[in-house]
Structure 1
Amino acid sequence: MKKTTLILGCGDIGMVLGRELLAAGHQVIGARRNVAALKGTGIKPLPLDLSDEEALAALPDADYVVYILSADRFDEASYRAAYADGLKAVLRTYEARAKAPRRILFVSSTSVYGQKDGEQVNETSPADAKGFSGKVLREGESALFKSPLTGTAVRFSGIYGPGRDRLIRQVLEGRIAPKTPPMYSNRIHRDDCAGVLAHLIALCEAGKPVDELYLASDCAPEPLYDVMAWMAKQLKVEPTEVIQAPLRKRSSKRCDNTRLCETGYAFRFPSYREGYAQVMQEGGFLAEPV
């Protein structure tokens, strides 16, 4: 029988994941407020508002539940609704079922880390961010870990990909990050986000061990200045303005993906160079291939 995967918050990453799971033989249900975007994808649409108790009660049983909701706005109320209250409601729903999912995957973020001095961080590092976003995400993770259901949280670093080209546009405007002090940045291509989630589900299907927490970032944590300088060279742009980020907002850490790589996952875009080359080429930013 086909395995059923329910993707809650089936947006950009969810649709890429859904296509991969369909190719692997899964039945895929995509839940989102507006399901028009799912037409023709092969993903079964499910209109859903997580604040609707009746809709929650009607969620289908599934072998895997992937929670990829995103906040409507960058404020604490929106983050709490998406990453804490929404997840807790889903957990309560499935905890009450006779048939539990084999695993619930929760998409979290490396914003849970508060390190600012270029420290290397992994799954065992303190995650004590002072901002509301990191705190709320940690609350969601904690709810998952305390649940009797089997779950895994995946902390993605800065996601980029088609349509996520803010950094490219900043470089095209002649802007660049300061060279000193170095502000380390960590990134992961959208397709690798989907690939990591599909990989963890495949491990479960193969009966292989899966941890409760993974840090998912590519293999090149580098100073943001170096990333933008490389982009400027590809785009043939001469930077003219240094971006001055407020020190209180500065985040600088180096994400270590060893635990994920040890599961056998091979990054499609091991660094920003391969990934942004694809985004710049497909987005029409380059006249010639990198």
Structure 2
Amino acid sequence: MTELPGAPPPEPGRRVWLVPTPVGNLGDITLRAVDVLRSADAVACEDTRRSGALLSHLGIRRPLVRLDAHTMDRAAAVLEQYPRLAYVSDAGTPGISDPGAELVAAALEADIPVEVLPGATAFVPALVLSGLPGGRFTFEGFVPRTGRERRERLEAVAARAETSVLYESPHRLGATLRDLAAACGPERPASVTRELSKKFEETARGSLEELATHFGGDVKGEIVIVVAGRPAAAEPVGPEAHRAEAFALAAAGHAARDIRDLLMARGLRKNDAYALALQATGAAPPGHGSS
């Protein structure tokens, strides 16, 4: 094993380790992670082929056990079979937009000590590379692909004062940037980082509208989107301004639901936005129609 001052070998006894793995460059694996992988009875992982290639690169031979989002119900049995278990996701830190939380819960339920090693994750370098404020930020992970929950999550990004960080797949990047531009306004500053630590790493910075145009074609790699918080000039306005906007939208033919969503994007609470939208359109709440 690698020996470093202040880095003792893994503790004896039953244990579960969550081990971050490189998001791109294999040189980003830590020495402690190598020690833990060597000392484990087995390595549980999302993809045995991908993790097997990493272990082969490191010169480590350990049993591999598939434990992904579809097979996590086997966690208790795997913990019983392998008292000293290391868990890795395909890239980055397990439990951050990857499986892992369920394994931690199963280990704690069985009174098995759990250690989470520091190491690679994609959103921290992408946030720093963005050049946007990082003192306070919200990590959104992957937003839903469609529907009401997606719309509400993007509206929350629009209304938030601090920086937001999102993950996205390459084939949905363009659509998400366009939806963010619609929710936040086309001029909201943002960045897109892809292929972190790899040969073709790229960070593009600009407005959401500019980034949507830049990434309008085919894109490859894992994606991190960083969106600036709501500018100070867009602080929530008073109730009279909200009321005037709601009635103006209603006069323009907008439905109550659309008015509610637009008011929420301005920072109004959902219940207040809904009540004002109903008032502006003269619509009755569900279940309150005439008998």
Q: TM-score range by the shorter chain?
A: 0.3 to 0.5
Compute the TM-score of the two structures, normalised by the length of structure 2. Answer: 0.34
Bigger-Rg structure (1/2): 2
Compute the TM-score of the two structures, normalised by the length of structure 1. Answer: 0.34
